[in-house]
Amino acid sequence: MKNDAFLVNAARGPVVITEALIAALQNQEIAGAALDTVEGEAAIFDKDFQGRPIPNQNFNALHAMPNVMITPHIGFYTNMAIQNMVEISLNDVLAIIDGQPVQNEFK
């Protein structure tokens, strides 16, 4: 990547080797990063760390950098996505109540 490039990851945390990203940022090999997901996010996101440190050294290093933006894996969170989740869930509940097969059954 060019040194004025920004890395954007809204896919999966393991897509990016976090240690390599940190090194590239520290060495100014890339300009910055926007991360909607990070390695080990299950132990970080949706947890309350108020008053205590986040137990992930790589996350803390990235979070401290002024050229890094981190969001809690909410890239999917659009009005249409939420509407679809609600409608699919309600349709499946109605199917169960009516004794019909569920279209979106998780097996």
**Annotated catalytic sites, by residue?**
12, 41, 73
From residue 58, how far is each of 16, 74, 87, 90, 101 by CA, in Å?
Answer: 12, 20, 38, 40, 45
CB atoms within 10 A of CB 10: 14
Say how far apart CA 32 and CA 63 lie, in whole Å.
12
CB 2 within 8 A of CB 27: no
> Which residue(s) pair with 68 in the sheet?
33
